[in-house]
Structure 1
Amino acid sequence: MATPTTYLSTALLRRSCSSTSTVTSLCTPRVSALRIVQRRWARVHNVRFVTTQRQAEKVLDRYREKLEEKARLEGHRSVDSLKESYKEKILEVKKTATILPEDVPPAPASQASPSAFAQPPPPPPVPQDKPAEKKQSSSNAPGIKPLSSYLDLEKVATLQNKEVEYIWRLRHANDPLSLCAVIPLETYERIYQSARKHPQFVLPLPRPAADDGSGDVKQSDQGFEGGERSAADIHFLQWGFHPPAGPPPAPGAKSSNTHTSTVLFTHLAAFKLHGTYAQPHTAITHHLDLADSHGLVLLSGSVTEGRGVSVEEGRWLLMCLQKFYDYAGHGGGIGREKRQSLLNKFSSGDQSFDLTELVDEAERIS
């Protein structure tokens, strides 16, 4: 026979089970709904693709101003048009970059991931049979031809100055774009001292307008003739000083062959736009190999075709260079002082430097 306590326990147990089932039934739909929402909004992103795209956009934003400027200079309406015009070149560069050199064989599969504790290969042996040739090539500046590439110095050493000058001019006669000159050592030393103080300067190139209808413009020692000058182009020049190409003098011996100097002429507008990357249109070199034996400095140079300057105009710039840098030996009086003053003002950044005075002084006869 069941007691009252047994009935009470049974009733409580049934009520507890009913409450548990009710809680379970209430919680289960919420969990299912939450899982459905998560599945509905879940996405898989290609993290590598997103990162690459962001880096490309950052690089494009960083150089956007330069790209827009280049597009404007080349006549394109937008950067996309510029990229489209360089599309083939970009593909060619990418294709070239992915090709392995012929002399480097591909690594075998077994050596693709060497051990971290493997010993590195021994360094290649250093050749010891040509130390003199290596020393001589390191003393020369790249891109500068030594005087021995033009003349046989052993034979020239026995010639007189007039013969050296004749051979030097004859050596450049067949090249229509070449420039050459023979400078006395005293004159060059004055130019050299001025160049050390003023390694950069500007020179004018008059642009006359012909009035005879022929369009011909002639040049004389006093400047350009054939019409009144309408304007003048300004050209930027820069000196460079390099080690001598020949063998060094004996210890304790006094020698004037202490260097090889160069001068590069560039359009001033191009230099302002591209800076040191601007391409020069005229380059000259002073060789001092015969300075001790003959007292002569040989000048060689060339004008690059297609850069807006003719050979006659290159000679005009050389005459202007000598007139300003050899102000002590070229002319005298007020003209000498004015040329020296213009050099000093330009080198010091004086605001009173006047291009009109520069053009007038360049065209002055004395």
Structure 2
Amino acid sequence: MASLRTPALRHVVSGAAPYLRATQRRWAQVHDVRFLATQQSDRILAKYKEKLDRKAKEEGLRDINELKEVYKDKIQTLKKKAAIQIPIATPPPAEATTPKSTSPFPPPPPPPRIPNEKAPSSTPGIKTLSSYLDIEKTRALPQKELEAIWRLRHVNDAQSLCAVIPLDVYRTIEATAKQHPHFILPLPKEGQGAEIHFLQWAFPAENTVTVLFTHLAEYKLRGEFSQPHTTITHHLELAQDKGLVLLQGQVVEGRGVSVDEAKWLVMCLQKFYGVGGEKSERRRLLELFRNGDPEFRVEDLVEEAEKVV
């Protein structure tokens, strides 16, 4: 397993804010999105209290509680119609003896089908490495010069991330990603607990592999229409010749995540996906999440994310 001291993503996490490099466990208070939704409901009730009191009197009722009781069935019906389901496929039916899952996180969809024939690298809408570098000229450069050029290519973009990953480290990460294409990661917020983010892997082209990071609360609300705040792309065009994979990322300004925080998420990504076939706690959490197992605990996820190695 590649530790944080390996050069795999060292450049990605350089310059991160001090509190991200030395996270304290006292911040690891997970804010359940269901609790936040309840708070929002209470605020709405308070906002319309006067109108509801007037409606109760018009109906000849004593207060809002009696009004809610009278309209209980109608309220439940409207709630069901307004409910937004996360577009995540349910797993195949289990054996009759298998206990029903009570996990608060719906099981993610199965890993994407890997076609027998690789998709062409010229897939529309996908930026390949040739969008950033002259591949043939770069191919002739020594490894150190290639790394320097890749980092210099992004130095003037304040919202970008970049890294150079050894091919053997990347292959481990990719193999894990194909088994676990969806996961969640915690992001410490000083004095506010840990904010949870949803990640999705995609393999859109032969030499291009992407990861999308989205706020979990937004993904639960909007599903496939949610907007990612960070997109990471792995470019494999030079992998065989140079033994390196070039990573490029973009953090969208104004979507609630800073560049330093995005670096933290990418660092956590390597922690969990760089475990290979090891039966570690991180691997166990990946498998529990994939299966929608009720034993998956966000507290355990936060604890593993905070570990230095």
Q: TM-score, normalised by structure 2?
A: 0.60
Percent of paired sites with the same residue: 57
Contact 2:165 2:245 in 1 (8 A): yes
- Gap change, CA 1:231 and 1:312, over 3 Å in 2: same
Larger Rg over CA atoms = 1
- Among candidates 182, 192, 202, match of residue 184 of structure 2: 202
Residue 226 of structure 2, aligned match among 278, 282, 285: 278
The corresponding residue for 1:339 is: 282
Answer whether contact 2:176 2:276 (CA < 8 A) is retained: no
Q: Does 1:319 align with 2:249?
A: no
More off after superposition, 312-321 vs 148-157:
148-157
Contact 1:140 1:242 in 2 (8 A): no
What secondary structure is seen at the aligned counterpart in 1 of 2:242?
Answer: coil
Q: Corresponding residue for 1:160?
A: 142
Shift of 1:208: 1.4
Matching of residue 232 in structure 1 with residue 214 in structure 2: no
Query: In the TM superposition, what is the alpha-carbon distance from 1:273 to its structure 2 partner?
Result: 0.3
1:313 and 1:141 map into 2 onto residues whose CA distance is 30
Aligned residues: 197
CA displacement 1:93-116 (0-9 Å, x = unmatched): xxxxxxxxxxxxxxxxxxxxxxxx
Where does residue 110 of structure 1 map in the other structure?
none
Taking the aligned partners of 1:298 and 1:353, their CA distance within structure 2 comes to: 33
Query: Equivalences for 1:8-157 in 2 at 5 Å?
Result: 139-157=121-139
Deviations 1:89-148, CA, capped at 9 Å, x for gaps: xxxxxxxxxxxxxxxxxxxxxxxxxxxxxxxxxxxxxxxxxxxxxxxx975333321101
Residue 191 (structure 1) shift = 0.3
Task: Give per-residue Cα distances to partners, 1:189-214, cap 9 Å, x unaligned.
Answer: 000000000000000000113xxxxx
**Equivalent residue of 1:265, what SS?**
strand
SS at match of 2:232: strand
Q: CA deviation at 1:328?
A: 3.9
| In structure 2, distance between residues paired with 1:150 and 1:266 | 25
Contact 1:183 1:297 in 2 (8 A): yes
Shift of 1:310: 0.2
CA distance in 2, matches of 1:342, 1:138: 34
Partner of 2:300: 357
Considering Cα pairs closer than 8 Å and 6+ residues apart, tell me whether 1 or 2 has the greater RCO.
2
Residue 182 of structure 1: which of 145, 164, 183 is its match?
A: 164
Q: Deviations over 1:4-25 (max 9, x none)?
A: xxxxxxxxxxxxxxxxxxxxxx
Report the Cα distance in structure 1 between the residues aligned to 2:124 and 2:297, rounded to whole angstroms: 36
- 1:46 — aligned with what? none
- The answer to whether the 8 A contact 1:290-1:297 is kept is yes
> 2: CA distance between counterparts of 1:140 and 1:272?
32
Note the residue ranges of structure 1 that are not aligned, 5 or more in a row.
1-68, 77-136, 210-229, 245-258
CA deviation after TM superposition for structure 1 residue 172, in Å: 0.1
Alignment correspondent of 2:62: none
| Aligned-residue CA RMSD (Å) | 2.4
CA contact (8 A) 2:184 2:199 kept: yes
Q: Tell me which amino acid in the other structure corresponds to 2:298.
A: L
SS at match of 1:186: helix
Counterpart of 1:238, as a letter, is: Q
Tell me how far 1:159 sits from its aligned partner: 0.6
CA distance in 1, matches of 2:235, 2:170: 11
Give CA deviations for 1:202-258 in whole Å, capped at 9, x if unaligned: 00000113xxxxxxxxxxxxxxxxxxxx400000000000222xxxxxxxxxxxxxx
| Partner secondary structure for residue 292 of structure 1 | helix
Shift of the alpha carbon at 1:315? 0.4
Q: Distance in 1 between matches of 2:185 and 2:228?
A: 14
In structure 1, distance between residues paired with 2:230 and 2:185: 13
Asked if the contact 2:164/2:245 (under 8 Å) is kept, the reply is: yes
Given that 1:207 and 1:232 are in contact with CA atoms closer than 8 Å, whether structure 2 keeps it comes out as yes
- How far did residue 261 of structure 1 move? 0.6
